[in-house]
């Protein structure tokens, strides 16, 4: 396949024309989209997949000595002590009873760690998820922000598809793509079935490899591996009623579609139009290794992003129970 030149890149509106949307499906005021699929039955399905009581957390470390895997243009977090033992030694802090404690602050992008996207994070044609006006993003998202998702939480049965292992690789190559047919092939090889309303978790090996690779090499000619756009893939996600897509990449899809040249079209086709919640920058290597060892690729998944009013996203530490 050849990559189109920028001058040939179509408007994403035209690329997605005629594809399904879920706008209005859960009412004119809905702000959590496909998470509406995760009702009590789906929570119980998740609980029923617990067999051993083993737990895993999927968030990357904020302030890791190697740095943080960040989408180009975002800055690393900055954490600073504002109170510690030095203040007491210098006579700059004192509390009655000689009690001492430390305190600190942090500055970071709300999408500078493992995080959930708000449904209003990406748009085209001046309309967000569910038809909200893009003007509502000015100064903070007043509609389709991360807050309604944070209040609701994301809980259900999840299935892990390990694309890197399926292709015999430690990590997929830069720009390497796969689609729903590849996911189904990998699921068959793993002996697992992707069921309707499953939270879909996909491993490429990318985020885990960040901590082992030279930073310059990791970011050189930056293009992530990931899902690639097709009309068939969008229809499959719609028919399967997938509520949440979780991957160990920064964008949940190949950075630039190799056919059209459009950047992150699935953010619009799946998130903006279908209301599928994106969770990105998760670490999946330990979980995947354990799944391969015991052959259990489904589990209970629970996640609640921080309740940031008006946020375009928020950090989250998903918990998996097998």
Alpha helices by DSSP H, listed for 144-192, are 146-152, 163-166, 180-190
Q: What ranges make up the beta strands (E) of the chain?
A: 55-57, 78-83, 103-107, 115-117, 154-162, 177-178, 199-203, 226-227, 244-247, 277-280, 298-303, 313-315, 319-321
In contact, 111 and 71? CB cutoff 8 Å: yes
* Residue partners of 249: CB distance under 8 A and separation at least 6: 204, 206, 207, 224, 225, 226, 280, 281
CA dihedral 156, 25, 278, 309 (to 10 degrees): -100
CA distances from 172 to 97, 177, 218 (A): 57, 9, 12
What pLDDT score does 72 carry? 85
Contact assessment for residue 298 and residue 320, using Cβ atoms and an 8 Å cutoff? no
Give the residue extent of every domain in the chain.
28-74+109-321, 77-108
Which token pair is 56? 């895993």
CA–CA distance, 187 with 18 (Å, rounded to integer): 29
Question: Measuring CA to CA, which residue among 159, 141, 158 is closest to residue 150?
Answer: 141
- 142 closest CA partner among 314, 313, 315, 309: 309
Bridge partners (DSSP) of residue 83 are 103
Q: CA 203, CA 200: separation in Å to the nearest integer?
A: 10
Give pLDDT, residue 1: 35
Q: Which fold has domain 28-74+109-321?
A: Glucose Oxidase; domain 1 (3.50.30)
Alpha carbons 249 and 116: distance in angstroms, whole number:
12
Question: Cβ distance 161 to 200 under 8 Å?
Answer: yes
Tokens of 14: 């035209």
CA distance 302 to 184: 24
For position 7, what pLDDT does the model report?
Answer: 59
Per-residue pLDDT 10s for the chain (322 aa) are 344 445 588 899 999 999 999 999 999 999 999 999 999 999 999 999 999 999 999 999 999 888 889 888 888 889 999 999 999 899 998 888 889 889 999 999 998 899 999 999 999 999 999 999 999 999 999 999 999 999 999 999 999 999 999 999 999 999 999 999 999 999 999 999 999 999 999 999 999 999 999 888 988 889 999 999 999 999 999 999 999 999 999 999 999 999 999 999 999 999 999 999 999 999 999 999 999 999 999 999 999 999 999 999 999 999 999 9
Q: Give the pLDDT of residue 70.
A: 86
Task: Give the SS3 label for residue 209.
Answer: helix
pLDDT of residue 218: 86
* Burial class of residue 252 (count of CB atoms within 10 Å of its CB; 0-12, 13-18, 19+): buried
Alpha-carbon distance 156 to 48, whole Å?
10
Q: What is the pLDDT of residue 95?
A: 86
How confident is the model at residue 67, as a pLDDT?
A: 85
Q: For the packed helices 180-190 and 231-240, what is the interaxial angle rounded to 10 degrees?
A: 50
């Amino acid at each position: 396949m050849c990559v189109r030149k920028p001058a040939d890149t179509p408007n994403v509106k035209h690329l997605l024309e005629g594809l399904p949307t879920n706008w209005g499906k859960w009412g004119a005021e809905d702000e959590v989209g496909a998470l509406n699929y995760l009702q009590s039955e789906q929570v119980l399905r998740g609980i029923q997949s617990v067999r051993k009581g083993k737990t895993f957390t999927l968030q990357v470390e904020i302030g890791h000595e190697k740095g943080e895997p960040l989408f180009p243009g975002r800055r690393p977090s900055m954490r600073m002590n504002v109170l510690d033992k030095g203040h007491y030694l210098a006579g700059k802090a004192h509390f009655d009873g000689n009690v001492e404690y430390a305190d600190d602050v942090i500055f970071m992008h709300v999408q500078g760690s493992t995080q959930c996207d708000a449904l209003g994070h990406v748009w085209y044609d001046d309309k967000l998820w569910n038809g909200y006006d893009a003007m509502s993003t000015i100064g903070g998202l007043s509609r389709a922000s991360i807050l309604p998702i944070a209040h609701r939480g994301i809980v259900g049965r999840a299935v892990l598809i390990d694309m890197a292992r399926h292709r015999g690789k430690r990590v997929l190559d830069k720009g390497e793509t796969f689609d729903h047919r590849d996911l189904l092939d990998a699921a068959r090889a793993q002996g697992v079935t992707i069921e309707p309303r499953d939270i879909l978790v996909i491993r490429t090996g990318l985020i885990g490899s960040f901590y082992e690779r030279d930073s310059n090499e990791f970011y050189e000619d930056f293009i992530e591996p990931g899902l690639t756009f097709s009309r068939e893939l969008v229809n499959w996600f719609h028919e399967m009623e997938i509520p949440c897509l979780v991957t160990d990449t920064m964008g949940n899809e190949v950075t630039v579609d190799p056919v059209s040249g459009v950047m992150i079209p699935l953010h619009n086709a799946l998130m903006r139009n279908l209301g599928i919640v994106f969770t990105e920058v998760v670490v999946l290597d330990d979980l995947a290794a354990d799944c391969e060892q015991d052959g259990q690729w489904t589990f209970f998944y629970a996640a609640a992003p921080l309740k940031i009013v008006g946020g375009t996203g928020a950090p989250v530490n998903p918990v998996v129970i097998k």
